[in-house]
Structure 1
Amino acid sequence: MDIFETFDGHEEVLFGSDPASGLRAIIAIHSTTLGPALGGTRFFAYPNETEAIVDVMRLSEGMSYKAAVSGLDLGGGKAVIIGDPRQLKSERLFRAYGRLIDSLGGRYVTAEDVGTTTGDMELIAKETRHVTGLPQARGGSGDPSPATALGVFHAMRAAAASLWNDPNLHGKRVAVQGVGKVGGALVELLTDAGAHVIIADINAAEVARLVEVHGVTSVAPDEILFTECDILAPCAMGAVLTESTIPLLMCEAVVGSANNQLGEDKDAERLEDHEIVYVPDFVANAGGIINIADEAAGRTYSWDRAIEVVKRIETTVDSILDRASDQATTPHAAAMAIATERIASVASLPMPPLQKGSHR
């Protein structure tokens, strides 16, 4: 791996460790043009450090575009802690990690992600104020999963309006791949809306619970991508839409919460060629960052205020699909253009003049 080539386009990448607790962490800051880089901390047992680096770089870049296209005054960052969270979690580890975050002086603000919880954020907060997703009992926004699921739901409504001239999801067949915190919350929203939901997950117990509680249908995890449906919702890990899987899809739209669903950018064109409407993942799953942005804004967090902004994802998707149609391009390319144009417009602002006695 050419390290400096890998880091190209990122402002800063910070490595930190604490041998006593087993902490091995990487924080990647892609952009702070629009504001502090906000992004969650993923605690995952990566097979090797190279895969961890690749993941954090890709995720942090995606956070920049997610914040920009959502109209947030935030940049993009992400962090990973390498290891099995079931074995390594401890107060010392998270406090050591909190000090690592604090050393960045507010350029990076963290939140929970895969493998971390609101309780973990509390431990990090003992060492830094640059953390969000604290428990609601402490005035924080809590678990971002419900807000993420709501954003995906409204993105689906926009896709439905584009395809069938009606945002109502009643009677639509929706296949949900992955029913963790976000996928499970999405299933509840969909069934409440009258959709016919098909689910799959490697967690058989959770699948059984959702089947019993919501009356949904389940299929094997290796079948869900290729299940006949109106909308496919990837809500597990990324890179599921590839040159080999796209021709086998039996859906009219793909709208999910998983990050980096495309194996490569060209897969957006492949979806277009197969007449499948793809709502870019960094747009559909922006509800989580929108929710914690309300907490990070330095005011008393309000669920009602945050959710009103999350619901605007539906309007954002409408605009992206319209732009893609007008410009004969893919929704992915249209969304990227909106995000990069906004970042570039602010990046071109001149620096403010230095005041007497100040230094930069």
Structure 2
Amino acid sequence: MRITAIDAEEHEEVYRVEDAEAGLKGFIAVHSTRLGPAAGGLRMRVYRCDDEALRDVLNLSRGMTFKNAAADLPLGGGKAVIIGDPSHDKTPAILRAMGRAIGQLEGRYWTAEDMGMTPDDMAVIAAETPFVAGLAGGDFASGDPSPVTALGVFNAVRRATRHRLGYDSLYGLTVSVQGLGNVGRHLAQLVHGDGAHLVVTDIDPARVAAAIAEWGAEAAAEDDIYKTGADIFAPCAIGGVLNAETIPQLRARVVVGAANNQLATPADGDRMAQRGILYAPDFVANGGGIINVAAEILKVADRPSWVASKLTALDATMEAILVAARTEGVSPNAVAERIVAERMSRAAA
């Protein structure tokens, strides 16, 4: 096992993690522990190069600082990535090696499942380190956070829809969902149950076929999802999809999704506002999963009630953001970042 420290602007700790015998190559990034120990999921995916993986973990860990602060949790922001295809590269040896690496941070970073990971994978990692949440079993086990993430996003979809379109439900509206992974699939089920018509895309044709069979969804090509005639666009795959190229294509008037770091640059939030598109900041909308995980990290006795109250508070925060953005004539993302900065400043005082 080799863990190499990397200097990174704005981050407290960043490490390259390699274990040749296990086949592990990845990164761990701790962006901030100002509010508490850093918490954020472990994802496994294919990257074109190590630099792309490093950029991803840096952006994701920073996003977790924002997400945890927006949800008013006593946790900082961190993230970890494993480079590889989870469908055939993932092994117990790789997971255990990552667990040993996480253990070396001695609780400054807590991990949980993210893209390419499952509660069973977390159990393998937990054999090497106690700093794991999202477990399927145990006294405070929270299990798969995906349904709770999806519920928080669904709440944000309905909230933004009321503000921009004036409807209290999604009945008769069209929602385009980009990405039908764990969260995207749960979100699609919720919006379908609220009466929306679905347009979907995913890199896995089987997921699209399942959505067509189960919900009567309409399929769209990956590059065409932005320009479908949807009322609401829900990015639920990778980050950076809202950018100078895609935003001009959007016909949706509301954008709310589960993906992290949806804006390629801060200017893209302003770009959507200028087009009259209401964007609900991702690090607020998708905070349900980390709320669920936090209950396990914090050893909350009555997790369901605590999570429900936190989701209600998160929805109220989104309402306050959208009201302030409309009143001040600025983008919701700018308001959300200001709220996070204020909470971080109070913690530092």
**How many residues are paired up?**
346
The answer for unaligned runs of 5 or more in structure 1 is 349-360
1:293 is matched by which residue type in structure 2? A
Letter in 1 for 2:186: A
Deviates more, 1:104-113 or 1:193-202: 193-202
Tell me if structure 2 keeps the 8 A contact 1:56–1:80: yes
CA deviations on 1:160-210 (whole Å, 9 max, x unpaired) are 121234432222211111111111111111111111221122222221112
| Greater mean alpha carbon deviation, residues 322-331 or residues 85-94 | 85-94
In the alignment, residue 226 of structure 1 is paired with which amino acid? K
Return the alpha-carbon distance in structure 2 between the equivalents of residues 6 and 55 of structure 1.
15
Letter in 1 for 2:345: A
The one-letter code matched in structure 2 to 1:127 is E
Aligned to 2:277: 276
Q: Contact 1:141–1:301 at 8 Å: present in 2 too?
A: no
Amino acid in the other structure paired with 1:182: V
Shift, 1:221, TM fit: 2.2
- Secondary structure class of the residue paired with 1:237: coil
- Distance (whole Å) between structure 2 residues aligned to residue 137 and residue 172 of structure 1: 41
Read off the aligned partner of 1:246 and give its amino acid letter: I
Say if 1:154 and 1:313, in contact at 8 Å, map to a contact too.
no
Give 1:18's aligned residue.
19
Secondary structure in 2 matching 1:88: coil
- After superposing the two structures, state which structure 1 stretch, 104-113 or 204-213, moved more: 204-213
| Partner of residue 173, structure 1 | 174
State the 1:102 CA deviation.
1.2
2:245 paired residue number? 244
Listed as ranges, the matches of 1:1-360 within 5 Å are 7-136=8-137, 139-300=140-301, 302-348=303-349
Gaps of 5+ in 2: none
Corresponding residue SS for 2:223: coil
Tell me how far 1:237 sits from its aligned partner: 1.2
Q: Distance in 1 between matches of 2:195 and 2:87?
A: 37
1:69 CA displacement: 0.9
Quick check: 2:70–2:314 contact (8 Å CA) kept in 1? Answer: no
What is the deviation of 1:148?
0.9
Shift of 1:100: 1.2
% same residue: 45
State how far apart, in whole Å, the 2-side matches of 1:43 and 1:198 are.
Answer: 27
The answer as to whether partners of 1:43 and 1:116 remain within 8 angstroms in 2 is: yes
C-alpha separation in 1, matches of 2:260 and 2:323:
23
Q: 1:111 to 1:214 in 2, by over 3 A?
A: same
Q: Counterpart of 1:175 in 2: which secondary structure?
A: strand
Q: Distance in 2 between matches of 1:13 and 1:212?
A: 44
For residues 300 and 70 of structure 2, the distance between their equivalents in structure 1, rounded to whole angstroms, comes to 23
Mapped to 2, the partners of 1:300 and 1:88 lie a distance apart of: 37
- Cα deviation 1:289-337 (Å, max 9, x = unaligned): 1111111112346345323422433222111111212322110111001
Q: Following the alignment from structure 1 to structure 2, what is the Cα–Cα distance between the partners of residues 4 and 264?
A: 27
* Contact 1:160–1:167 under 8 Å retained in 2: yes
Distance 2:218 2:193 in 1: 15
In 1, Cα distance between equivalents of 2:163 and 2:124: 45
Q: CA–CA distance in 2 between the matches of 1:49 and 1:72?
A: 31
Paired residues of 1:280 and 1:335 also in contact (CA < 8 A): yes
The letter for the 2-side match of 1:264 is T
Distance 2:308 2:177 in 1: 22
SS in 2 for 1:86: coil
Report the more deviating stretch, 31-40 or 133-142: 133-142
Task: Tell me by how many angstroms 1:136 deviates.
Answer: 4.4
d(CA) in 2 for partners of 1:314 and 1:169?
17
Greater shift in the superposed pair: 314-323 or 134-143: 134-143
CA distance in 2, matches of 1:301, 1:53: 37
* Whole-angstrom CA distance in 1 between matches of 2:163 and 2:343: 25
Contact preservation (8 Å) 2:7, 2:14: no
> Compared with structure 1, are the counterparts of its residues 62 and 294 closer, same or farther at alpha carbon in structure 2 (3 Å cutoff)?
same
Task: Tell me, in whole angstroms, the C-alpha distance in 2 between the residues paired with 1:298 and 1:304.
Answer: 13
After TM superposition, give the deviation of residue 137 of structure 1 in Å. 6.6
- Tell me, in whole angstroms, the C-alpha distance in 2 between the residues paired with 1:138 and 1:88: 31
Normalising by structure 2, we get a TM-score of 0.94
Q: Greater Rg, structure 1 or structure 2?
A: 1
Deviation, 1:214, is 1.6
Deviation at 1:132, TM superposition (A): 0.4
1:288 corresponds to which letter in structure 2?
G
- After superposition, the Cα gap between the structure-2 partners of 1:117 and 1:299, relative to the gap in structure 1 and judged at 3 Å, is same
Distance 2:76 2:181 in 1: 27
Q: What is the aligned-residue RMSD (CA, Å)?
A: 1.9
SS at match of 1:222: helix
TM-score w.r.t. length of structure 1: 0.91
